[in-house]
Each structure stands twice: as structure tokens, then as C-alpha cells.
Structure 1
């Protein structure tokens, strides 16, 4: 790290006047001494000499938040400092849900916490619940007030009560923090429209098209169907407003240090309400630079590191998760490289894993999967991946042309195949999905659909076909076995544990009708949950019991600690994926059959990795690898370690 002249007080004596308790003063000062230089270095890289005025303001914000942090959260801070790998433990399994669709209100969510606890959940991500604009609001990502909860869900006090209940059961509350933009109804935007120069500088405003036209030459369109272009004319502002995602979402000007100060205050306010993990939404878009796509700029990583340093000083129990759906070469920077190594976000989405799961399922071939994983540079050992089979969003076919070429495929051709397959247009497809945001200029067609419907369960049940129903269940469990066995935090999207199908009535809600991603955001079916628990022989019951078994097996495997990476091993069969994890306690080998065929897999390929004998931690079976092949049933998954 480069040496910088300290502008922050880095010893206890300099801040003692702000404390009545010497121990509290020492605690704050020690953290300030540890993280202050990182904070200062990153801020100087972004704001230059402006940090002379910014740093004292940040210190005042941090001192206030530290003094008002509840005692039980301060105790959690100390516990996390003693166990900094808490987010990397094998028992860390996440659940992602919209609060209203899961249980109506925050109090309703609290009533169902025992269900989550019984499932083995340690991390609950409630989708955007801070007060959005009325009407269309991009699924809650157009925030009008960061200090209030949606009125239909409850209050901030309800959120704090839920967080406390979760915390008492060892479950961390995760919330979205939308960093790139606010709703045009947010107070900052209202003040800007009223002409306040302070708040006008919170946004990117242009008096004519010269600036926007310059940027548009290199900017992509995120939602070409319903939000073409990246700028919107506003009569009150008398100018063009930068609106990357929707006309009602105004991009913030992170070149203004006041915006960073505002978000430091918001993060610490929410942390003191009990939020333990912040999903940093649209983090890649924060910094704008002409001549680029305005994504993944170096300043983004400095800004994230600065926010993290402030959180570490006041609330070290808090972790950051980067929502950066970008190429592997760019993604690694969100976990930290070079001077930022391990000092940016604590977690990032491994979006390539999801794409390759569905790609291999459609093609019955894992060669592209292997190449895509090899393209990932090693992550910092103190960070973790977030893996998922499905999420709230669409599936964009992020298959690089280079990876495809290395396995003899055409990148555009394979992406076209995947869109056809999962929209049900490809002959013989088992999937039922919907095309989302078709871009005729690029040929890009993303896909919406629930895990179960994309994996073939909806079509099989409609056809009354027992064999296809069985194969669909096997596919669903295979996908989850890969994510649960990959290492990191596996994230279950609400209802996937019950194999919920597409919601055919999603369009009945007017603000959802134009966004078919709501087809895979159904309401929680609590009757189905009871049925699945009572009868594990039904398709939904099989998925539920199978997933619970996978979670229980994962919990007991130290090999799945997230400090260790999964890496692909050359497989003699193109249908079978081999993932190896080299843990101090030994090798864990994941074996995954991505086809509906029974495969006689060469025993030597497993013996070379594990030795002559192994134990499968999923079935409890013992293997001796001799001359006979290992029989892999359709969509079979094995988690193998060498036998003692």
C-alpha cells in the first residue's frame, strides 16, 4: 500500500475527547488506525485534495454511528473479529425472497423464521424493501427513501425486530443497497428539480445533448425494450438526466464526495438496525468516463474499499456483497486485486456458474463449463463466491466467444441455441421459459423462468409423464448439488426448495405485466410446503427432501470452506463434470452427470484424484476403484473424499 500523509487521527488520544469510556475509545482508535490508511488512500485516488474537507466529515459520521450502535451488535462485532471467516463456513446457506411474496409483511417473515431455521438457512436476503417510488419501481430498485420500509411491509422498528430474531438464531439479515441511482421522487432528486445547486451536483445533468451524445457512442442499453437510451429529458431540471436503467431512476454523481458521505451514513444507519450483509446493487456502474461503457472503472473499486473501511471501523460484523454481473477478468476486481487484494467486497456473485449449469444441462456437455471455470483467476482467500441456480433476475447468456472457441463452438451460435432451448423453441426441449429483452441489433435474448419450469418439471407434470417427471426432479437436485458443493455461499431462491413452477398469472398485477421476470417470482405456497414435508414421494416433496439432505451433508464437510477454490479436472466423459477441492483435510471431488443417460465412468479417472477407495458423502456409499467402471445414474451427483 502506498504511504500517504495521515489526515485522520490514528491514535486513541486524538479521539478520546469523543468518548466517556476509555475502552470504547481504544476500540474505535484501534480500528481507525487499522483501516484509516486504506480509507484515506482510496479517497485520495478518487477525490484528490478534496479529502481534506471530506475526512473530518466522515470521522464525525463514524463517531456518531459508533456511539449509537446497540450493545448486542457491538458484541457481534467482537465475535466476528474473532471469527473473520464466518461468511466462509460450510454451514452458511442463503435464502433469497421478496418479503411480501414470502410472508406478506416483515412480521409475517418473522413468524416463518422457524421454517428457514429448519431448512438450514444462515443468511436471509430480503429483496428490496426500502421505500420505493409508488407504481412502477423496477422491482423495488427505485428507492425513494433509504431510511424507511415499504409501508405495506411494516416499519423500520419491524425490520429491527426481525433482524434481532434472526440474529438470535444465527441467521444474518441481508438487504439491497442501491448505489448507482435513486428514484426521481427521492428527496435529493426533488431538491435538484427545485434548483438547489448542492443537490443538482448529486446527479449527472446536462443542458443539451452534446454530453449525452458523447457518452452514448460507447454506452450499451440495459433495458432496450422499455428504457432505450441512457438519458432522459426533465422539464423541471431543464436538462438531460443520466438514467441508465429507467427514466425514473436517476444516476448519482459519485464524483461528488458528498454522495459518498451520504452513503457512509446510510450504511451505518442500516447496520445499526441489524443489517449484516449489504448487496451492493449495480456497483459496476458507479463511475462515468467518456469513451468507455462506464462500467468497471478503477474508481469503483476505490469507492467500495472506502465504504468497506468505514464499515469496518464502526461495524466490523458487516460484510459487502458485490452485485457485479461482469466478465471473470473484471469480476475478480470486486473481491480485490493488487493493493485492493481482499479489501473490496467480501463476496461476489459467481454468475458464470449459473450460466454454465444451464448450458451444460441443455447441451449434455460440460466442456464449455470446464473452460469457463478455468478462465477465473484465483480469488483472495478471505473472500467468497455467492452461487445460485436461479435468482430474481433473468438469465443472460454470458458465454464468451473465446471460451466457446476453445471447445469448438461459436459463441453467438451457442447463445442462440440456449435462448431457443430455454424458451421451448428448440426441438425436444424440456424447458418452459420466456424470452426477456430481445435485442435485434445484438441478437441477445435473455430468459425468464423458475428453476423447476426451466428444468422440465412443468412440462412433465402437464404431460403426466412419470419418467420425464423423475428426470426433471433429478435435474433440479443436480443443479443444487453443484452449487452446494462448489464452496462459498449457495443462495436458494424462494420456492426452489419446493420446485415451484412459473406463475401464469404474473401479468394480472399491472406494474408487473410488462416485465416477464415476475413469472419466476411467485408467491410462497405454504400449503405446498406442508404437503412436501408430509409426503416426500411427490415431485415437490422429493425436491424438498433431497435439498434438505444436500444441505445437511454440506454442513458436515470442512472441505467446503470457501477459502478453498473448486477447479475443474479433465473428465474422460463430456457429460460428466469433475470439480476438485484441495483442502488441508484432503481432496473433495465433485462428480456430476449432466445427462439423462446412465454412464459407465472410468474408475481410473477417480482413482487418479482420490486413491483406490473413496466415500460418497451424499449417499453414504463406499467405492473401491478397480477395473470396473463406476455406474453413474442419470443426473447423479457424488461428493467424494478418500477413504480413511
Structure 2
């Protein structure tokens, strides 16, 4: 007699969870703990075996990154305002929204979570979150490396009470911590006097952000309860914030250890058996090779950030040469089906420099850093193993980062800015656009002075009525930027060759023209993306692009048709051309 499908799925589910637990916790009662986790994730016992190598995305997937209070209107929850803006202005442009941590917090603009189970009342409530999830694919942060020093768990720790007493990672000042890699300069350990004895808690990011102890299985169980809660409120993409740091072993780098990867695999298994369309995205701002490891064997992250893209692309537009960009792109493995890249060039943080290590030399990075400072940017530092500091991140509005080149400011800011996004939008992967890129927001120097934090420069809060006024008036750069980006994205959404997993090859048309070819998975559509990254006119003979002579070719952006394939294509400064043989005249 054939075993019921449901029973087969739950058996496989249990088997896989147990195997993950054997790696993470060798001495645990794996069967019993696996059942506890499964009971949390599917209390009704209903699950389904996920299909492998399935793409949960296509060319229509575009994510907007935003804080819950980036837009403010009197008498309305900021999350309500965000939904109104997204429906009115972006319903035909994006399909996903990444709301940065929307929980009660004590610092770091949300990334020091006090309570994972509640919505920050200054933003709205769960009904507001649910309303957004009903209309857009919702991405939420799962901030599990650390939590706030004001959380109930840490209050329990300080009182020596269960369960919080074991929920935080502690070390000794006598431990060998010389190899620890981290992106901050504050003291790593913080002394806390507890009723039993003084203990030294681990603080990767700040003394208000206390690192959690995943060596304690009960903590993992609490995290799984949070995952289930978020699924119940419509979260479809889980962004694992700072996940590379979650497992610590003194005497090592404490970065991307084997247990860390196994926890990511466990979370994927737990989620995909009950929500097959849900995705895991790992946020690992580390050198490129280490970042790629989070794909695993197509069994870890569904998507990883293309962290090397922002510094390489900004550098290309500063110096008018795509040499490093081409070298990097040729070295990037195509994502297997069921995995993809998340492409971005601006976010709530800054332009990370660690992902450029090994791809740009130190003099080039220093040159870029110096020019970004001239354009109003700030520089955040990190501590090096064994002492010393190095630039970690450039904090700047991307719009202001595009003010000029290494030669200084010029008149090409808007075309340069749109060129940067056109490149990112056309690459293999899912594009993610920061709300302040959509709006062409400038550096918010007042916010930096007010908060004392460099990252505040790119976290402006707009008055909604003021925003509506500037978006409606072509006298403002904001209107030109918004219309330009929306046009590019709306064109992208209709092209099968821009599927995140469609074929991609680098073309070699000189250092000033960054060019690549995309081909749809059914091989019916080709798109040649030609991008002038310089402030000078470039001429590209069409004969060098290998266009098929029997097809008609059109630039999807301008609508210009190219019928004479022996002619020259003239690219003005920062002009982008998407040449295709199959097009929608919509």
C-alpha cells in the first residue's frame, strides 16, 4: 500500500532537520529536538516536499528597500503612507518591498531589536504590515546575530534568570581574540555584573547590540518561533542580517564558520517545507569568494547580495573605465536554478569596501574614498585583526556620489546616476532599488550632525506632501530621476532575457563601454546591454557586436531601430542602449 504523500513529506522533513542538528549540536537528542522545531513550524502536521532548483522569481521581480518611516504624513501611520506611495507611484514598477526592521528598537535605526514579536508603534501595527504583504512580496529582516541590551532576554541575563541567562555569547578577556574579524572599532567584550559572577558578553557591532549564543538550542527554538510568526504575517523573503557572525569560536575569525552555514541550511529546510515560495537572503558583507559560499550546494540561501557590485560600479563611473567591473563579472559563476543574486548599488548602509578587496588595489580604493569625501560622503572604519584600522564603508547618498568623476563635479550627474542603475537592472539577478535612489535624495548632513552616525547621511525622512510636489515638478532633479528609473524598470519587466537566471556573457568593447549579452532561457530573445561609463562620446561599430542580420534590432530604452548593421552606434556620455531582436511595442 502506498504511503500517504503527507506522511512521506513529514518523514523527509524530520530526517533533514535531524541531519542539520547533528552537525550543529552533536550531543543533542536530535530526534526529539527536530520534532519540537517541526511542531513550531507546522503545528497541524501538514507540509510538502519542496521542488528542487525551482526559480521563485522572473524578470518582473523588483524590490524596493525602505525604512518604515522614510515617508511621513501627518495623521497617518508611516507604514500606511508607505503603502499609499507604493500603490500610487510604483504599482507597475516593483513587486516587492523590503521594510527594514520595523520592530521596537534601541539603536542602529532598528537593527538593535528590543522585541521581535511586536511592530514599532511609531510605524504602525501588524495590520499595516499585513496590508503591505497583501499587495507586495514582503521582505523582512531576521536580526539574529544580536539583540538589544534593553530586550527582555538581556534583562533576564543580567538577573541570572532562565532562559536569557544562556542566550548571549560570552568569552573571557584572556581568550585569544586576535583573529576575530568584525566591522567596528568598539571593544569586542563588555563586562556585565550578574548575580553569580561578572561575565563578558560579545558585541560584534556595539555595546547596545549583544550577540546571541546559538550554541544554546533553546535560543534556536525561540528564533524558529519568530520565523513562524513572520510567515503568519505574510513575510515571503527572510533577510538574514549579519548572519556570517552568528557562530563564535575564540581563536578563529568567528566569521562564516561551518556551524553558521549549517544554521542557514536548517532555516531553509524549516521554511521551505511549510512555505515553498518563501526565500532566504543572506546579508554577508564580506569578500566576494566568501559571500558566494552562502549559495552552498543550492541548499543555503536562495539569494545572496552582489556586494562587490556597488564599489566596482561606482569606481567605474568615477574613472571612466570598466576594467575591474569586467574582470569581476567574468569571474562570477552563473547562479544555478533555484538560486540568484540580489543586485543593488545603494542601501540603508553605505558602499561596502570589503567586497572590493582583491578586486581593486588599495591605491584605487583610497582614491575612490577621497573623492567620495569631496562629494560630501563620510567614511566608516573597521578594526583589523592584530590592531589598526581600515576604511570599511563609504556613507553617502548614491545620487550625490554621482556628482562627478575623479576630475571633479560636472554636468552629467543625472545621466551618470541612471547609467549606474541601468547596468544594475540589466545584470543577472533580481534588482533592489533603495527608496532614496528612486527619489534622488541628497546627502542628509543635518541627520549626521543630529545623530552622530555616518549612516544617517543616507536615511532621510521625506514629508510626503513635499515629496509629491517635487515628483510632479520637472524643475526638480527628483522628478527626472524617478521617471528615468521607473521607465528602465518597466521596460525590464517585459523582457524574458532579463530573467534573473537568463544567460549572461561579457562583451569586450573597450574600457569605456561596459557591455554584456543576455539571452532568454528559451533562446528567443537576445539583449545587448551597452553602457558608456565615461564622460566622452564613444563609437561602437555594430559589426563588433555580432548581431544576427536576419533580425530587426531596436533599443528598448529609446525606441530607435537599427537596420543597417554595418553602421556605427554612437553612445553619448553615460548613454545606455538595450539592443534586442524581440520586443514588446507596449
- TM-score under structure 2 normalisation? 0.89
* Cα distance change, pair 438–176 in 1 and its aligned pair in 2 (3 A): closer
Q: Which residue of 2 aligns with 1:412?
A: 362
Tell me the secondary structure at the aligned position of residue 147 of structure 1.
coil
- 8 Å CA contact retained: 2:312, 2:356: no
Q: Which residue of 1 aligns with 2:193?
A: 235
* Residue 562 in structure 1 maps to residue 509 in structure 2: no
Aligned positions of 1:422-437 closer than 5 A: 422-424=372-374, 431-437=375-381
Q: Which residue of 2 aligns with 1:3?
A: none
Q: Deviations over 1:577-607 (max 9, x none)?
A: 1122233224322111101111112333212
- 8 Å CA contact retained: 1:612, 1:625: no
Choose which of 189, 197, 210 in structure 1 pairs with 2:174. Answer: 210
* Residue 382 in structure 1 maps to residue 338 in structure 2: yes
Alpha-carbon separation, structure 1, partners of 2:553 and 2:203: 56
* Cα distance change, pair 65–506 in 1 and its aligned pair in 2 (3 A): farther
- 8 Å CA contact retained: 1:613, 1:642: yes
Q: Deviations over 1:22-47 (max 9, x none)?
A: xxxx55x4543454433222221211
* Cα distance change, pair 456–532 in 1 and its aligned pair in 2 (3 A): same
Alpha-carbon separation, structure 1, partners of 2:519 and 2:280: 26
* Cα distance change, pair 402–454 in 1 and its aligned pair in 2 (3 A): closer
* Residue 129 in structure 1 maps to residue 65 in structure 2: no
User: What displacement does 1:613 show?
Assistant: 5.6
- 8 Å CA contact retained: 2:343, 2:424: yes
Q: Which residue of 1 aligns with 2:112?
A: 142
Choose which of 105, 115, 124 in structure 2 pairs with 1:154. Answer: 124
User: What displacement does 1:247 show?
Assistant: 0.8
* Residue 617 in structure 1 maps to residue 568 in structure 2: no
Alpha-carbon separation, structure 2, partners of 1:235 and 1:273: 38
Q: Deviations over 1:446-465 (max 9, x none)?
A: 3111121111189xxxx9x9
Q: Which residue of 2 aligns with 1:114?
A: 87
* Residue 58 in structure 1 maps to residue 37 in structure 2: yes
Aligned positions of 1:73-88 closer than 5 A: 84-86=54-56, 88=57
Alpha-carbon separation, structure 2, partners of 1:365 and 1:524: 35
Q: Which residue of 2 aligns with 1:264?
A: 224
* Residue 446 in structure 1 maps to residue 407 in structure 2: no
* Cα distance change, pair 578–609 in 1 and its aligned pair in 2 (3 A): farther
Q: Deviations over 1:580-638 (max 9, x none)?
A: 22332243221111011111123332126888863221112222464443111110111
Tell me the secondary structure at the aligned position of residue 435 of structure 1.
strand
Q: Deviations over 1:463-488 (max 9, x none)?
A: 9x9xx44x111011101101111132
- 8 Å CA contact retained: 1:268, 1:314: no
Alpha-carbon separation, structure 2, partners of 1:497 and 1:261: 39
Q: Pick which of 115-124 and 482-491 moved more.
A: 115-124
* Cα distance change, pair 640–628 in 1 and its aligned pair in 2 (3 A): closer
- 8 Å CA contact retained: 2:71, 2:82: yes
User: What displacement does 1:49 show?
Assistant: 4.1
* Cα distance change, pair 100–619 in 1 and its aligned pair in 2 (3 A): same
* Residue 97 in structure 1 maps to residue 66 in structure 2: yes
Unaligned runs of 5+ in 1: 1-9, 13-25, 68-73, 405-410, 425-430
* Cα distance change, pair 257–210 in 1 and its aligned pair in 2 (3 A): same
Tell me the secondary structure at the aligned position of residue 342 of structure 1.
coil
* Cα distance change, pair 495–394 in 1 and its aligned pair in 2 (3 A): closer
Choose which of 567, 571, 580 in structure 2 pairs with 1:641. Answer: 580
Aligned positions of 1:220-619 closer than 5 A: 220-224=181-185, 227=186, 229-236=187-194, 238-336=198-296, 341-398=297-354, 400=356, 402-404=358-360, 411-424=361-374, 431-437=375-381, 441-444=388-391, 446-456=393-403, 468-469=410-411, 471-507=412-448, 509=450, 512-513=451-452, 515-527=453-465, 529-536=467-474, 538-571=476-509, 573-583=510-520, 584-607=523-546, 614-619=553-558
Q: Deviations over 1:539-590 (max 9, x none)?
A: 322212111110111011001111225342222x211111222332243221
Q: Which residue of 2 aligns with 1:5?
A: none
Alpha-carbon separation, structure 1, partners of 2:3 and 2:551: 58
Number of equivalent positions: 570
Tell me the secondary structure at the aligned position of residue 546 of structure 2.
helix
Q: Which residue of 2 aligns with 1:189?
A: 154
User: What displacement does 1:527 show?
Assistant: 4.3
Q: Deviations over 1:92-141 (max 9, x none)?
A: 111111111224522333333423543512101111111113xxx11211
- 8 Å CA contact retained: 1:39, 1:305: no
* Cα distance change, pair 239–260 in 1 and its aligned pair in 2 (3 A): same
Choose which of 39, 44, 57 in structure 1 pairs with 2:22. Answer: 44
Alpha-carbon separation, structure 2, partners of 1:278 and 1:606: 40
Which of the pair is proportionally richer in helix? 1
Choose which of 141, 144, 153 in structure 2 pairs with 1:176. Answer: 141
Q: Which residue of 2 aligns with 1:7?
A: none
Q: Deviations over 1:395-446 (max 9, x none)?
A: 1223655434xxxxxx11111011011111xxxxxx3322233769344263
Alpha-carbon separation, structure 2, partners of 1:34 and 1:640: 47
Alpha-carbon separation, structure 2, partners of 1:344 and 1:541: 40
- 8 Å CA contact retained: 1:532, 1:542: no
Alpha-carbon separation, structure 2, partners of 1:34 and 1:581: 38
User: What displacement does 1:394 show?
Assistant: 1.6
User: What displacement does 1:233 show?
Assistant: 0.9
- TM-score under structure 1 normalisation? 0.82
User: What displacement does 1:372 show?
Assistant: 1.6
Q: Which residue of 2 aligns with 1:23?
A: none
User: What displacement does 1:518 show?
Assistant: 0.7
Alpha-carbon separation, structure 1, partners of 2:62 and 2:507: 25
- 8 Å CA contact retained: 2:92, 2:490: no
